[in-house]
Amino acid sequence: MFYIVYYLGLCLFILSGTMLLPLLVALFYQEANAFYNFFLISFFMLFLSGSILFALRGRVLLDRRHSKLLLLVLVWSVVPVAAALPFYFLESPMTYNSAYFEAVSGFTTTGATVIKNPADLPKSLLVWRSLLNWLGGLTTYVIIALLLKPLSGPEVFGREMRSIIPSTYSTNNDGIKEAIKAILPLYSALTLACLTLLVVIGMEPLHALCLTFGAVSTGGFMPIQSSLSIYGLPAAEFVLAVFMLLGTVSLLWVQALVQFRWRTVFSVREPFSILLAIFLLGCLLTILTWDPQSNKSIYYSLRTFFSGLVAATSFISTTGYPVSDSTQHVIPYVMMLVIVIVGGGRFSTAGGMKFFRVGEMFRLSYLELQRLVFPHSVSALRHGNVGRERNVMQSVWTNFTVIVFFICLLAIILSATGLPITNAFMASASALGNFGPVYELYNIDSAASQYMYANMSSLAHNTLCLGMILGRVEVLAVLTVLNLQYWRA
């Protein structure tokens, strides 16, 4: 128990420290009320977390697997309780339930929002909203490295993981701190690079900062209620697409790429599968958005194809930045559901099942079909050069079955609140896939405002919060925590 309380206190301590950024923004834009509220909230969290850390200083913190998984669930559930306070105090019409929804959505990098026009928010709150995306992305990397490693498939990156986070494979209780020290430099470097490029291109620094936080973390919070095309900067769309792509592939693969370790880069198939999916979806969007009545110039053709690729990157990465009005509603409903469920790559901030698991599902299905024809055949189970066990591959199908079950369960609850069934299924899938913007971008079934996030009932908001937390935690981890036999072991 001390282990859990200590690290929850550490999370709150870090959260209070990150409020320095919105404090500086409030000071710069002379937002006295925002500065006052952020200062009080930060001071309160600093006092609370500091008291916890001081009280547990010097105690032996038992690092048990039970504690780790329970901590995993509590981090995604408890941290937004504190992160919601600025929304509650600074956005006056907002209830705490809506503020918690916004905080959960930001921290889990889902990107669903109850705020109708972000441009009306105080600049400091706008930055805090996007900063939650960035913090959630960092938390995702740390938790995957330390806690979800057994649930994320075979260790294709096992050697690389040991090289940057040795404590992941040891019993050292400082593993979380070491993971942060190992991951934070690269994550921060990507953030700084994206921000610098956007500012150099000519984007307003505040919007560049918010879009950078969302792109690097694949979070999806927009600083305005519009699409990227409103900026009139195709170069900025390209930069954002590049960093959304880097956010949807493995961070370890990105590390190998920047270190020019080409053998590692080309030995992993998943990033190339993601690139192929983006290209094919981009081609489809180009065809669907092509206007036969328009001027068929080379510029129009290239611009349409470019917008299609950027939109495809936004969709595959589960970021959900709207690129233009023409790319928002053209993908068929069932195909969009598949995109939401599949998501991006493993050891990334992208949501969904992950490309790797889908590949494992198809591989096992092919082997089982082959056994029907040749029942006594013996097939080698491999992932590239790594041997595989059939029970591990079968667990991927179990994971998929559980995800589909929860999508249906949450959709039933949402439909009971008044949402049409098509809306309910898309909303529940987007919550579990941590791909919130797609629900309103896709504009399912009706454009009526009562079906948007801002006008949903409290029950619908709480249901979606549950879905977002389940999607980020991994549903199998939640079921493990709820299993009494696990605690008796």
> pLDDT by residue (tens digit) across 297-336?
788 788 889 999 999 999 999 999 999 877 777 888 899 9
Supply 379's token pair.
């097939």
Consecutive H or E run containing 184: helix 175-201
**pLDDT exceeds cutoff 50 at 108:** yes
CA distances (Å), origin 102, targets 115, 223, 436: 8, 14, 11
Instruction: State pLDDT tens for residues 151-172.
Output: 444 444 444 455 445 444 444 4
Rounded Cα distance between 472 and 107, Å, is: 10
Supply 99's token pair.
């503020």
Instruction: State pLDDT tens for residues 21-69.
Output: 999 999 999 999 999 999 999 999 999 999 988 888 766 555 566 677 7
Exposure string (b/e) for 455-466, b if CB count within 10 Å is 16 or more?
Answer: ebeeebbbbbbb
CA distances (Å), origin 164, targets 211, 252, 473: 28, 9, 23
CA distances (Å), origin 400, targets 394, 433, 439, 482: 10, 12, 21, 19
The secondary structure of residue 387, as a DSSP letter, is E
- pLDDT class for 123, splitting at 50, 70, 90? very high
**pTM tops 0.85:** yes
Q: What is the pLDDT of residue 325?
A: 77
**pLDDT exceeds cutoff 70 at 378:** no
- pLDDT class for 477, splitting at 50, 70, 90? confident
Supply 60's token pair.
């032996």
Residues across the chain: 489
**pLDDT exceeds cutoff 90 at 365:** no
340 three-state secondary structure: helix
Asked if 107 and 471 count as a contact pair (C-beta separation under 8 A), the reply is no
**The amino acid at 133:** N
386 three-state secondary structure: strand
Handedness of CA 214, 219, 223, 227 (dihedral sign): positive
